[in-house]
Structure 1
Amino acid sequence: MSLAVPILMYHSVADDPPEATRTLSVRPSQMGAHLRFLRDHGFTGLTFTDLCERVRAGAALPARPVVLTFDDGYADTHGSALPLLVEHGFPATVFVTTGWLRDAGADSAGRPLDRMMGWSQLRELVDSGIEVAAHSHSHPQLDQLDDKALDTELRHSAALLEDRLSTRVSSLAYPFGYSSRRVRKAVATAGYRQAASVANAVADVGGGDAFAVPRLTVRRTTSPEVFCRIAYGVEVDRVFRTDRALTRGWSVVRWSRSRLRGTRCA
């Protein structure tokens, strides 16, 4: 079964975020407007894993499915996004960088860009019907790691989430959206069933690579007109022309760096 589904990628939801997260943030009022638009136009929300599992099983999908995802695990995902999701009746998937969590303790790793959720807030997300999935442990560029470090990043994140939240973690989102054939193989070997990239394309969930499912970036500058196009998958190539050009250029840089470090990055 092949079906085009918009998978929307959010990060911070805040009126006044720090500079580090501002570009990829949206205001709570924007988030509310997006959810009202989706509800009023008959979209049905699914979690990322639910979508992929339904497609894998050949199960029926709603007439107008949409997936909302949030990366990193910022505190405002709980404080601002969760109440709006509950109000409008939409599930979502939150991809969490476990080493960035506020109370990661001895497992702390990497440098969070803003205030982060803690384990109790993640539990509240799960109890509210939100899927919590993995976004690595320290948020590195996975395609720049050697095999051992890559395996640790993938397994440790899922193990922590499963242990602390008592939930199965079968989905991952690549930090920065970067992956490679080597990384995707490692993700499958680590036990994940699917993974989200960025790519800024509408997902062909039945005909594409389950370990490179594309998402569509929603940011502070996304106008209501552009959001409509993104949700309906109209003129997406034109909307994200600049993003795709930058992605292609940066992929060459990453490949060159990997070669210089001796890391296989096929």
Structure 2
Amino acid sequence: MFPKRIPSMRRRRPRPPIAGIALPGGLIVLILLSIQQALALPFWGTAPQTSPTPTGTPTPERVLSSTPTLPPPTATPLPTRIPTPTGTPTPTPYPFFQEPLPPSDGTPRALRVPILMYHYISDPPPGADRLRLDLSVRPSQFEAHLQYLRQAGYETVSLSDLIFHLTQGKPLPPRPVVLTFDDGYRDAYEEAFPLLQRYGFRGTFFVLTGRADEGDPRYLSWEQIRRMSEAGMEIQLHGREHIPLNGRDEAFLFYHIIGGKQSIEAHTGRPVRFFAYPSSVYDETLIRFLEGYRFWGAVTTAYGADERLENRFLWPRIRIRGTDGVPQLAGKLQEFTGP
């Protein structure tokens, strides 16, 4: 007989106590909670009720309401784009005299005062061309002119004096005359200026400021201009350069006219009120420009002696030529003033 089989005893694994299972699980939960709190992450899908406030100035808690209590946000305007200029910019105006025309008393007036126009007061150089000869009055010849004017009872006045007479009736001497000198050549200081002082006359000099700026020895320097102004001579504008100014835009005119005006006024401290058109070339735009910047008037090379308020930007003059002795000068004056 087979021996009786005794059933084998299976080895059972020991079961850990419940405390052994709970302790590691609790540690894991504690670790996860610590990580979640440090990183501000939701734990097992639950959203946090409050958000941690960053370090610094505390942010007040916002109370939600079904009805908004704050005003609607205002849109922040975008910065305005400044367009880039495409043409020649107008120079920034610096301070300069802008005197309004003296107010009129309402009485219409007209004058026939000779405005004489000189250029060179010097002997023409050897080989001078016809134009230079025509524009040159020798110093001895010019002194003879002044002697005649004094003997004939003429008294020099300024262009401003004519304006004050036309607007307000300011009295003028019985035989007024205006002596003008164009271009501002050096001989205006060396020859004309001392002769005018000797005979008690006053001259009006239309200068080119660009020549003085560059120190051109053929033209007046700023120091000479200042001395003449301090002695009672009138310094007015002929432009920066002797170039035609018709058909120009406002920026170009501002540079050549207002720039020259500023230069004279800065050196003399006296207002520039009148302009002499280079080569007597002008157009309506140029006249409107002068009037807009409160010039009182302008002179041309047109022959005549008709001065009215209405044509103050086109006043004519009497050209004195190199061939004009005293008889020629007397004849031209008597044409407008009588014997």
User: Counterpart of 2:138?
Assistant: 27
Instruction: Specify the code of the residue in structure 2 equivalent to 1:63.
Output: P
User: Counterpart of 1:39?
Assistant: 150
| 1:2 aligned to which of 110, 113, 116 | 110
Superposed counterparts of 1:185-196, under 5 Å? 185-196=288-299
* Distance in 2 of aligned mates of 1:67 and 1:193: 16
* Distance in 1 of aligned mates of 2:161 and 2:260: 20
> Contact 1:6–1:231 at 8 Å: present in 2 too?
yes
- Higher percent of residues as helix: 1
Superposed counterparts of 1:94-243, under 5 Å? 94-101=205-212, 104-105=213-214, 115-202=218-305, 204-206=306-308, 208-233=310-335
* Distance in 2 of aligned mates of 1:234 and 1:160: 36
User: Counterpart of 1:14?
Assistant: 122
Report sequence identity in percent. Answer: 33
Q: Which has the higher contact order (CA 8 A, sep 6+)?
A: 1
1:234 deviates by 5.2
Unpaired segments ≥5 residues, structure 2: 1-108
CA deviation string 1:123-167 (max 9, x = no partner) = 111121100011111121111433321232111110111111111
3-state DSSP of counterpart to 1:210:
coil
Q: Based on CA coordinates, which of the two structures has the bigger radius of gyration? A: 2
CA deviation string 1:108-131 (max 9, x = no partner) = 8xxx7x711101100111121100
Instruction: Specify the code of the residue in structure 2 equivalent to 1:123.
Output: R
Instruction: Specify the code of the residue in structure 2 equivalent to 1:229.
Output: G
* Distance in 2 of aligned mates of 1:193 and 1:27: 32
Name which of structure 1's ranges 63-72 and 50-59 shifts more when overlaid on structure 2: 50-59
Closer/same/farther in 2, CA of residues 207 and 194 from structure 1, 3 Å limit:
closer
* Distance in 2 of aligned mates of 1:59 and 1:198: 26
3-state DSSP of counterpart to 2:246:
helix
> Contact 2:280–2:301 at 8 Å: present in 1 too?
yes
Instruction: Specify the code of the residue in structure 2 equivalent to 1:117.
Output: L
RMSD value, Cα: 2.1
Closer/same/farther in 2, CA of residues 234 and 165 from structure 1, 3 Å limit:
closer
Unpaired segments ≥5 residues, structure 1: 236-266
Closer/same/farther in 2, CA of residues 207 and 186 from structure 1, 3 Å limit:
closer
* Distance in 1 of aligned mates of 2:336 and 2:176: 15
TM-score, structure 1 as length reference: 0.80
Question: Aligned pair count?
Answer: 227
1:227 deviates by 0.9
* Distance in 2 of aligned mates of 1:233 and 1:47: 21
